[in-house]
Structure 1
Amino acid sequence: MRQDARENRERILSAADHVFGTRGEAGSTEEVARLAGVGIATVFRHFPTKEALIEAALVRHYTGLLDRTRAAAAAPDPTAALPALIREMIERGASKLTLASMLGDAPPAVVTVAGEVKAAVDMALRRAQAAGAVRPDVDVEELYLLIRGLAQTTAATPVPAQMLTRAIDVILDGLSTR
């Protein structure tokens, strides 16, 4: 793929993440094209259907999260890496959930990368626990329940950023051994 085509594809996916992640079904491919700075034909050249575009945006979301999750799992300071990761997952979770809700059943590519993310989160959690920063009685399923809970709440009813920050702080305080 040519460099300009790769750049167009990336801009389209970023725009799709924003448009569909915030507006859901009310978003349009025309909006995506405008935000990406390309014509609608360019969008459909890369993604023949709206569903293909949404799926690719969701895979892109998870792939980026996987990179950051693996970095957190390998970070020199697991006591700082895990809270930063949890904060990001909650703050960006509403967009991911909105995209996922538009697809119905999760496509195999999404299921695969989501499983890899969860395994990396589990590793980051265990490293933070081994460092004594996180309660030892918490497992990745409980952590995911907390993350999903806040992400789903903000997807259904957006809240002011300051309120979300405080809610995340409460979760992080509850996980902490301090």
Structure 2
Amino acid sequence: MTDREEPRPLRADARRNRDRVLAAAQAAFADEGIAVPLDEIARRAGVGAGTVYRHFPTKEALFEAAIVDRVERMITHARDLATAADPGKAFFDFLDRMVTEGSIKRDLAEAVGVDAPEYRKPAHALNTAIGELLTRAQQSGAVRGDIDIDDLMRVIKGTFLAANNTNTTTDQRRRTFTIVFDGLRPR
């Protein structure tokens, strides 16, 4: 295959196996971080280790694919909310989902806080989608007008780092993000 040829689409069963491996990897990485063995991911997916390696040659490739998949799902969710009747509610609902998933899923929290080449394209798309929600919420008067997407992402990244350490309880995490969200509202 040359560099210009598109890879052939996966057969339906291969696609299902790949999706099962990704879902199992996301759950395993959320529970145990990147230290989880590939054999454990294969067991959780109900496939053999060879199936995992066929789709993802290294654990790092699987981790990257799991993060990119999760970020792409967040992008889709943001785009779905972009035309909501209440832009302020849509903006804060999106942030709430991001916080909830980021609190449960370490991979999303890590993706939001990492500046690595393999994450730049999906991170840019996520920032663009969130930026659209932010702009609409600002235009509706639900969010203060003196911040931009870069400010918002710095606040979210910093809050994720602070609120997702091992000593933080769920209630503390929720209160931390409530304070941040309140700070985004107009004065």
What range describes the TM-score normalised by the shorter chain of this pair? Answer: 0.7 to 0.9
The one of 62, 84, 90 equivalent to 2:93 is 84
- Sequence identity percentage: 37
Contact 1:134/1:175 (<8 A) preserved:
yes
Contact 1:92/1:151 (<8 A) preserved:
no
**Largest Rg, 1 or 2:** 2
The one of 8, 14, 26 equivalent to 1:17 is 26
Q: Which residue of 1 aligns with 2:4?
A: none
| Superposed CA RMSD | 2.3
Amino acid at match of 2:116: D
The structure richer in helix per residue is: 1
State the alpha-carbon separation in 1 of the partners of residues 71 and 88 from structure 2.
Answer: 23
In structure 2, runs of 5+ residues without a counterpart are 1-9
Contact 1:122/1:140 (<8 A) preserved:
yes
State the alpha-carbon separation in 1 of the partners of residues 110 and 33 from structure 2.
Answer: 6
Q: Which residue of 1 aligns with 2:108?
A: 96
Q: TM-score, normalised by structure 1?
A: 0.86
State the alpha-carbon separation in 2 of the partners of residues 158 and 58 from structure 1.
Answer: 24
Q: Which residue of 2 aligns with 1:71?
A: 80
Aligned residues: 175
State the alpha-carbon separation in 2 of the partners of residues 81 and 70 from structure 1.
Answer: 10
Q: Which residue of 2 aligns with 1:57?
A: 66
Q: Which residue of 2 aligns with 1:105?
A: 116
In structure 1, runs of 5+ residues without a counterpart are none
State the alpha-carbon separation in 2 of the partners of residues 117 and 12 from structure 1.
Answer: 24
Contact 2:91/2:133 (<8 A) preserved:
yes
Q: TM-score, normalised by structure 2?
A: 0.83
- Larger RCO (CA under 8 A, 6+ residues apart): 1
